[in-house]
Structure formats: C-alpha cells, structure tokens
Chains A and B, each alone.
Chain A
Amino acid sequence: MNAVLGRRVTRLEDRPLLTGCGRFAGDMVFEGQLYMRIARATCAHGRIAAMHLDAAKALPGVVAIWAGDDIADLPPIDFRDPAATALAPYRQTILARERVRYIGEPVVAIFATDAYIAEDAAELIEIEYDEYPVTLDASGPLGEFAPGLQTEPIMLEQGYGDIAAAFARAHAVIELTLKIGRHSGVPLETRGAIGRYDAANDILELHGAAKVPHRNQEAMARFFGRDHAHLHLHEGHVGGGFGIRGELYPEDFLVCLAALRLGRPVKWIEDRREHLMAANHSREQEHHIRAAIDKDGVVLGLEDEFFHDQGAYIRTHGARVVDLTIGMLPGPYRIPAYRAKGHMRLTNKTPAATYRSPGRYEGSFVRERLMDAVAGRLGLDPIIVRQRNLVPKDAMPYARGLGALGTDVVLDSGDYAGLLDKALKRFDWRGRQAAIQARRAKGEYVGLGICMFVEKSGLGPKDGARIGVLPDGGIEIVTGSASLGQGVETALAQIAADTLGVDYRSIRVIHGQTDRIPYGIGAHASRATVLTGNATHQAAILLRETIMKAAADLLQLPVASLLIRDSIVSAREGGHGPSISLRDLAVQMPDALHSEGWFHTDHMTYPYGVHLAQVCLDAETCLTKVESYLVAYDVGRAVNPAMVEGQIAGGFAQGLGGALYEEFRYDERGEPLSVTFADYLIPTLHEVPALDILVTEDAPSPLNPLGIKGAGEGGCTGVGAAIASAVADALQKPEAVKTLPITPQRLRNMLRGPA
C-alpha cells in the first residue's frame, strides 16, 4: 500500500498552533485557581539561619506560605528508574531543609489569589544564610555535600579488551584534556504546572505534564501514597522539551500538594530567569583522554577519565548521563581496547540531567578531537584516519562489549564508511579543500571540520497502542506517547493510515493522558517513533483484520477479496460490487472495531551520522562564522522525511548554541551569570546558517518491522565536535580547541595567546 508512510505530508498538529488556539500550560484556567510563586535561594551554599515571612503572610491575597519545615513529612524526589543506593542521599527535597546548595533552589512556596500578588509576596520574604564554602569545579578536590557525604557519590567504570597491552605496543600515545561547557535545552515555553484535586472522585491531577506522563504518574503515586487510579497526569501543548522538560521537579509536587491541602487548583508558571537557574542544566564535563595508536593512525586502545558536573542534587535521571557518556563514547570506531571512568560530582550549581543527545554530544566532541589530534600528530588526513578506524559494514551487528541504559550496546546495522563517502561527495569536501587553500593564502582563517558519530534510539522493553473506529467512522489511536512539538501525532497517524487504508487526516491521536490508557513510554531518548510507532503498526494490522472479517460477514464476500480505501471496505476487483464504509460498520458493530498492539525489543537501534562544517574566523572580532554545514544521517526509514529534516535542523541549531554561544557561567561565589536571554545566548537567525541535510535509509533496523531508527537527536550530537574540528583546521592547530563553547574570548586566546 505505502500511500502515506514515508511521505512529506503536512502535520496534524499545526492548525491550532497557527491560529492561536493551542492549549499550553499557561493558557489553562481552573475555577478558583491560586498562583504559586517560589522564593529561591540567593546563596549557593549555606545554612538557613533565619526566615522572615510575616510581611509576606500579611499581604492581602496571600493564602498560604510554606517553608521546608511545613512539609517535612514528605520524601525527596525519587529516581525514575532503580538507582545505586549510594545516590539516594543526594536527592532533592521539594523545598530546602536547613541547607541550600545552589542559587535558585526552592526555599519558600507562596500561594496567592493572583500571580502579581504572589510575586509581591516573594519580594517581601527575607532569608538569612550562614554561608559555607562553595564547590564549583567538578574536577577539583572533593568537598562535603553533607556531614559524612562527599561530593562524589559514584564513579562508574566500564571497558573491554586488554588496555595495558594496547598501550605497551603503541607507536605513539596521545593525551588530551577537553571540556564541554554547561548548557541546556531551554525550551521557548518555560515550565508550567497546575495541580487540581477533584474531591468528588478523589483524583489528584497534574496538568502541564510532558515527556513521560506515565512514568511520572508512577513516581507521583509513590510520593503521595496514592493509587494510580487516583492520580492522573494531563499533557496539553508543550513548547519544546529537549530532555529537560517533563522531568519531575519540586514545583510539580508543590502544586499538587497545595491543591490537596488548600482545596483549590494551584497554578505555577515559571519565569525565564527562574528557568535558567532552576530547570535542569546539562553537558558540563572535563575529560582526560589517552589513546594508544599505531603508525597508521589506528587506535589500539582508548582510556578516558572524566568528571561530570552534576550540580547540587541528583535528579530523576540518577547517573544516566555518566553511564551514556561511557557506553557511547567509542562511536563508530572499532577501538579494540577501551576503559572509561566517569566521576559524578556534586557542585553548587543548578542540578543537571539529560539534554538532547546526552552523553553523545559530550563524548563525540572528545572522540573527534582525539581523531583530529591523531591525524595531526602523524601528519595524516583526518578523513583517512577516521576511515581506518571505522567499524565495517560487514561486522554488523557489532557487540561493543559495553552497556548503556541497562542494555548491551550492539550496533544493529550501518554502513559508516558508505555514509561518510556520500557526505563528503555532497559537501564537495575535496573541492572545498582546494578553495580554502586559496583563501588561506590571502590570510583568511578558514577551516573544514568533521564529526562521525553513532546515536542510539528505541530503548525497550516495550510499548503498546490501542486503536479503534469511532462512531463517526474516524480512527482514534490511544497511546501513552507524548508530544513535545516533534510531530508524534502525524507520525503515528501516517503509520496507521498506511496499514488501514484511510486518510491520515481522519485519525486522531491521543497522547499524554494517563486516564485514557494505563501505560506508555512518553517521548524521550528518541524512542517514540520506534516503539510506539511499531506498536501502532501492530495495532493497525490487528484492527484491519477485525474490520475485514466483520465486513466480509456483512458483505458475504471472502476476506481475501476485500480492500480498504478511503475508509470504505469494498471488493478488490471491479467498482460495482457491494461496499461498506467504516462509519456504517462502526454503527453496526459499535464495540467490535478496536485492537491493541504491542512492540517488544531487547536492544536499542543505532542511527548514525556525519556532520561536516566549514567555518571562517574573524581575527579582529574573534567570532566564528559557520559558512556551510551538512548533516548526513541514516535513520533506517523515515516515516515523514520533512519531519525528520525538521528534527535535524532544530537539533543542529541547538548543537550550534552549545558549540559557540550558550554557556551557564557562574562567579566565584556560585552566583549564576546567565539568567536572561541577554546573557544566555540562544542562536538567532543571524547565527544559524542555511543547512544542508542528507537523510539516508541505507541501514533499516533489523530490530523492528518498520525498520525505523529514532531521528530526534542526530542533528545535535555532532555539532560541537564538527565546529571544533573546523575551527582547529582554520587555526591549523589540530589540538588547539580544548573547550566548548568556542566563545570569542576563547578564540582570541587560541589566535593570539591568553590576554
């Protein structure tokens, strides 16, 4: 059939968003709602010595004010998945107790009848602190998190092969120290949460849910000691997720708790300053990497030790980013021996967690700086060095001997060398090299950069979907997926429409409502299209069988002679035979036309990509201009190529931010310096160049019937690495770029030496 799967159709999501009819958290209004405002720590590390709340409490319109002592009976925010017991003492409570550990930490919650009054009240609150020394460098000496607890809760370690032997027979050893700056997803919609208690039915509701509503339902049910049936999460429109939105934060629990205790709906909408100091940060790592190489540039062994700046608490992800960094760092290269140690360190900064391509953006920067250094040290072409190290196509599936996210990393399919060839050709790499030589001769700083990487997607173990024919003949798919703006409704509708023989626009996709379906993986880690997509596919196959059997009985024709086209079941041959519409069928058999499909998988599936960049450095202003950029990405099979390209283009812009502009900086007291959009620099259209995108489908995944690999992250993964590679090439110093982002200050130091 293949009428709509794989086509660039327009999105089902767009119309309400284009006409101003969206329903984002901030747009929701409940009768009698209160507004919450959080007073946040203004000291990066200290003991709360005194709180002055009376003036705020006396303000007309203020209904309640809570400090940590008022809710001391509640546990800290737990990890989503089981985590090492060593991590447990580092979890965050929903309001600070005794000690604060980062500026922006929630200390007092104010509830008022109006958002403006709540903000007035927050300004009347004074909190005094006895200041403690701050820890701001995750790779420095260990500090104290609490009495008896050091600032390194855990060190993760993995490896394979004989690393000592690799170094013993090395032709040369290359060592680099590399740093990735602190940046994050920063969706354009700030966080928002509305807690509501439906006393008539004893149901506690959280509106403004995102990303993983069902997992969060589990976590909140545990927290509040309520059964799942009495606690529901509801997702409206979501203004971007990128990994950081939809994790459970203190504010989510506070609005629900307040709804229960105050008996009124409670709404909280974060402001931008809060967002930049309170929502999850990400990325900040310092790596010390060593490679043993032979004389041809083949890596014999790789050893990495890194320090992961977790910030002040360990949030819902536990040690996931450290784990992913280690498990994915070798990327597309063979690397016969490997050992990595990741130190998770607490500091007095905003807590960190996952952001689009977690661990891979960081690891790709490190690995690809190393590849360039190998080429530079041996005087070899960086492309040739990479080609000599790639995992060959015929070695697939390729077991890495590593784990990530609790599964073995087994690269399922891929032609890495083939994609590299396609990308180089499309980018005219060799032609550009010649042109660049001519420009360099005139004194310009121009360079070409490359990153090769492997992504991961489709983490199991399973997801399901329900599908049915509505009384009006339309199709409804009910999933526990989540929409963050990526187009999941359209993708799932395309998959089902293809199997069912209906117009994808007649399909309604439900997601993010825990009261509509009892399970669902949400949307994270590039899982939704792989898992929920394949579950939807399965459900659609079953529904099609049910429809065909029912129609065959009614039409008195064999199933094999029937087809569904445009929501009408008719005889395959000839236009004049009997037929019945899905609508009529649904009227005749109101309870029969539905099914449930499941997809199970033990392993992740691994898309892969090549990023190529051309940059020009301005020696006067020390700005890096990206002149051209190509993302080549193999997604196995693209459900909607336009949406895949959209994911890549958006990911690229975010990756570019982390490569050149975005950085959460702190002063020596732990004061965050990047708390407005004037200081935290998201790329504007001036910074984002035209982008060339090559989506390939050369290596469908053998692990799922549709052959899909996730497309959400590969646009972002390689940008830091490729830009760094291009800047180093422009400088003609393969090892010069050691830190992201490459700010004008850092570029100045590379061009002219430290000021």
Chain B
Amino acid sequence: MSETRSISLTVNGRAVAADVEVRLTLADFLRQNLRLTGTHLGCEHGVCGACTILLDGRSARSCLMLAVQANGHAITTVEGLAPNAEQMHPLQIAFQEQHALQCGFCTPGMLTTLTELLRDNPDPSAAQVREAISGNLCRCTGYNSIVDATLQAAKKLREGVPG
C-alpha cells in the first residue's frame, strides 16, 4: 500500500522531483505535494473536466492519472498559463471581460482545455469551441459566455495583442 517511486517531471516550466506513493493521483500530487491547488477535483471519475491539465501540451484529466505516470513529462496547470504575475493570459482576460466564470471552480479546466484548442486552431468557429469544451461541466454560467470569451481571446491572440 505504501509502495513509493521516485519521479521527476516539469511543472509549469519548473523541474520537480519527488518520492510518491504509486497510488497517488496526479491531481492529488499537484494539489497536495506541490500546493498547486488551482487544479480542481469536481468528480474524480473523469467526467467534469475541472482537473484538466496539459501533459506535454495535450489536455488530460489529472484525476484519472497517477502521479507516477507523469514521470518524465511536462505538465502545465492553470497556475502556469499567465505569462507573469502581473499579466494574465488573453484567455483569462477574455473570461473576465465576458463574465465567463461565476464560482470559478470549473474555470481552470476550461482554461487549460481552451489553451490547447487555441494553440492547435487559432481561428476556431463557435461550433469548434463548443465541441472543444463539451467535455467540461460548468454549473454556473450556462456556457455561452465561455464560448464568447474564447472567440474574443482567439481574435486577440491572432492580432498579437496581449489581452
């Protein structure tokens, strides 16, 4: 039960090494061991998407992965999206301007998922945005403001405007 492994990985650009129990989920590793609590757990069975992180740039559910599976990989969490402490990412700014969050619990998973979308498809249609986050549950906003925010951020990113 208490079998452990040594892992080393990159989290938000920082090298991390730790001894972890093999059964520890990646989400719990990020939240408890690294104190990166921006990654949220809404269901722990892979449906809600709140715990979505980027693993080598691809979105993944950190509740369905073990920390040991992240060994040797690069992880990006919501804490790693903004370019620096003063400035938010254009997606984050657009979320604020379009009222695309209320309680903010699903927001980290939305942001990471949409970061992947906009990297792969800088000029998505509304339908493509809807498809991209159809696996992320939000209980507050009714989603449409999130779609609007994403389209706004995409436009800003294409124009090269920071925010």
Contacts from A to B (Cβ < 8 Å) = 10-11, 13-15, 17-24, 26-27, 29, 116, 120, 185-190, 237-242, 271-272, 484-487, 642-643, 645-646, 649-654, 676-678, 682, 684-686, 688, 690-691, 715
User: B23 and A271: CB pair below 8 A?
Assistant: no
B16 at the interface (CB under 8 A from A): no
Given A242-B139, A486-B102, A646-B141, check contact A10 B96 (CB 8 Å). yes
The interface residues of chain B lying within 8 Å CB-to-CB of A242 are: 139
Tell me the nearest residue of chain A to B82, going by C-beta. Answer: A19
What separation, in Å, do the CA atoms of A686 and B127 have in the docked complex? 10
Within 8 Å CB of A10, what residues of B? 96-97, 99
Residues of chain B in range 29-47 having any CB-CB distance to chain A below 8 Å: 31, 35-45, 47
Q: Does B17 contact A (CB under 8 A)?
A: no
Which residue of chain B is the closest to A655 with respect to CB atoms? B142
Closest to A242 in B: B139
Q: What residues of chain A lie closer than 8 Å to B105, measured between beta carbons?
A: 24, 187-189, 237, 239-240, 485
A684 to B, closest residue via Cβ: B134
From B23, B31, B133, B142, A26 is in contact (CB under 8 Å) with: B31
Knowing A685-B143, A690-B144, say if A650 contacts B39 (CB, 8 Å). Answer: no
Seed contacts A20-B39, A26-B31; 8 additional CB < 8 Å A-B pairs: A17-B103, A18-B88, A272-B45, A485-B104, A646-B145, A650-B102, A677-B48, A678-B47
Residue of A nearest to B85 (CB): A19
Residues of B within 8 Å of A17, CB to CB, are: 101, 103-104, 107
- A18 touching B139, Cβ below 8 Å: no
Q: Are A650 and B134 neighbours in the complex by a CB distance under 8 Å? A: no
Chain A residue numbers with a CB within 8 Å of B79 are 19-21
Task: Output the least CB separation between A644 and chain B (Å).
Answer: 10
Instruction: Please determine whether A239 and B104 come into contact, CB atoms closer than 8 angstroms.
Output: yes
Q: Which 8 A-B pairs have the closest CB atoms?
A: A20-B38, A485-B103, A17-B104, A239-B105, A649-B142, A677-B47, A27-B37, A653-B142
Q: Please determine whether B103 and A239 come into contact, CB atoms closer than 8 angstroms.
A: yes
Would you call B78 an interface residue if the criterion is a C-beta within 8 Å of the partner chain's C-beta atoms? Answer: yes
B163 to chain A, nearest CB (A): 12
Complex CA gap A677/B101 in Å reads: 21
User: Within 8 Å of chain A (Cβ to Cβ): is B66?
Assistant: no
Check A650 against B142 for contact (C-beta < 8 Å). Answer: yes
The answer on a CB contact under 8 Å between A240 and B95 is no
A16 to B70, CA, bound (A): 27
Question: Of B42, B104, B107, which is in contact with the most chain A CB atoms at under 10 Å from its CB?
Answer: B104
**Could you pull out 8 A-B pairs where Cβ atoms are within 8 angstroms?**
A11-B99, A15-B88, A188-B48, A643-B99, A649-B142, A653-B141, A685-B146, A688-B144
* A-contacting residues, B67-121, CB 8 Å: 77-79, 81-82, 88, 92, 95-97, 99, 101-108, 111
* Chain B minimum-CB-distance residue to A275: B43
User: In the complex where A20-B78, A649-B141, A649-B145 touch, is A189 in contact with B40 (Cβ < 8 A)?
Assistant: yes
List B121-163 residues whose CB lies under 8 Å from chain A: 130, 133-147
Q: Which one, A15, A19, A23, A682, contacts B137 given CB within 8 A?
A: A682
Residues of chain A lying within 8 A (CB to CB) of residue B88: 15, 18-19
**Residues of chain B with a CB closer than 8 A to A685's CB:** 130, 133-134, 136, 143, 146-147
Asked whether, in the complex, the Cβ of B102 is within 8 Å of the Cβ of A487, the reply is yes
A18–B111 contact, CB under 8 A?
A: yes
Return the contact of B135 from the options A13, A15, A684 (Cβ within 8 A): A684
Question: Given contacts A485-B104, A676-B43, A676-B45, is CB(A15)–CB(B142) below 8 Å?
Answer: no
CB atoms of A239 and B40 under 8 A apart: yes
Our pick among B41, B96, B144 for the contact of A14 (Cβ within 8 Å) is B96
CB-contact partner of B40 in A24, A186, A684, under 8 A: A24
A688 to B47, CA, bound (A): 17
The dominant DSSP class at the A interface is loop
Closest to A642 in B: B99
Residues on B with beta carbons closer than 8 Å to the beta carbon of A686: 130, 134
Cα distance A242–B105 when bound, in Å? 14
> In the complex, are the beta carbons of A188 and B106 less than 8 A apart?
yes
By a CB distance below 8 angstroms, the chain A residues around B77 are 20
Please tell me if the beta carbons of B139 and A654 are within 8 angstroms of each other in the complex.
yes
Evaluate contact between B101 and A14: CB separation under 8 angstroms: yes
Q: Is B50 an interface residue (CB 8 A)?
A: yes
With A11-B96, A20-B39 known to touch, is A240 a contact of B141 (CB < 8 Å)? no
Q: How far is the CA of A189 from the CA of B104 in the complex (A)?
A: 10
- A653 to B36, alpha carbons, bound, how many Å? 30
Contact A22 B104 (CB under 8 A): yes
Contact (Cβ within 8 A) A189 B42: yes
Q: Please indicate the chain B residues that have their CB under 8 angstroms from the CB of A240 in the complex.
A: 102-103, 105, 139-140
* Bound complex: CA A654 to CA B143 (Å): 11
Q: Provide the residues of chain B in CB contact with A14, threshold 8 Å.
A: 95-96, 101, 104
Chain B: minimal CB distance from A414 (Å): 25
Inter-chain CA distance A580–B146, complex, in Å, is 43
**Cβ contacts under 8 Å, B139 to chain A:** 185-188, 240, 242, 650, 653-654, 682
| B78 to chain A: closest residue by CB | A20
CA distance A189 to B108 in the complex (A): 13
Partner of B43, one of A237, A651, A677: A677
A187 to B41, CA, bound (A): 12
Q: Are A652 and B142 in contact (CB under 8 A)?
A: yes
Contacting pair B143 A653 (CB below 8 A): yes
Question: B141 touching A22 by the CB < 8 A rule?
Answer: no
Q: List B contacts of A24 (CB < 8 A).
A: 37, 40, 105
Residues from chain A with a CB closer than 8 A to the CB of B143 are 653, 684-685, 688
Contacts of A690 in B (CB 8 A): 144
A238 to B48 alpha-carbon distance, docked (Å): 17
For the complex formed, measure the closest distance between the CB of A4 and the CB atoms of chain B, giving whole angstroms. Answer: 16
A185 — which chain B residues lie within 8 A by C-beta? 139
Using A19-B38, A20-B79, A26-B41 as known contacts, say yes or no to A187 and B103 having CB atoms under 8 A apart.
Answer: yes
Distance in angstroms between the alpha carbons of A29 and B31 in the assembled complex:
11
- Compute how far the CA of A14 lies from the CA of B88 in the bound complex, rounded to whole angstroms: 11
Contact partner of A21 (CB less than 8 A), chosen from B24, B38, B40, B102, is: B38
Tell whether, in the assembled complex, residue B101 and residue A188 are in contact, meaning their CB atoms are under 8 Å apart: no
Q: Which residues of A contact B45 (CB under 8 A)?
A: 272, 676-678
Nearest CB in chain B: distance from A204 CB, A? 25
Docked Cα-Cα span, A120 to B102, in Å, equals 35
> B101 contacts which chain A residues (CB < 8 A)?
14, 17-18
Please report the C-alpha to C-alpha distance between residue A15 and residue B79 in the assembled complex, in whole angstroms: 12
When the two chains form their complex, are residues B104 and A13 in contact, meaning their CB atoms are under 8 A apart?
Answer: yes
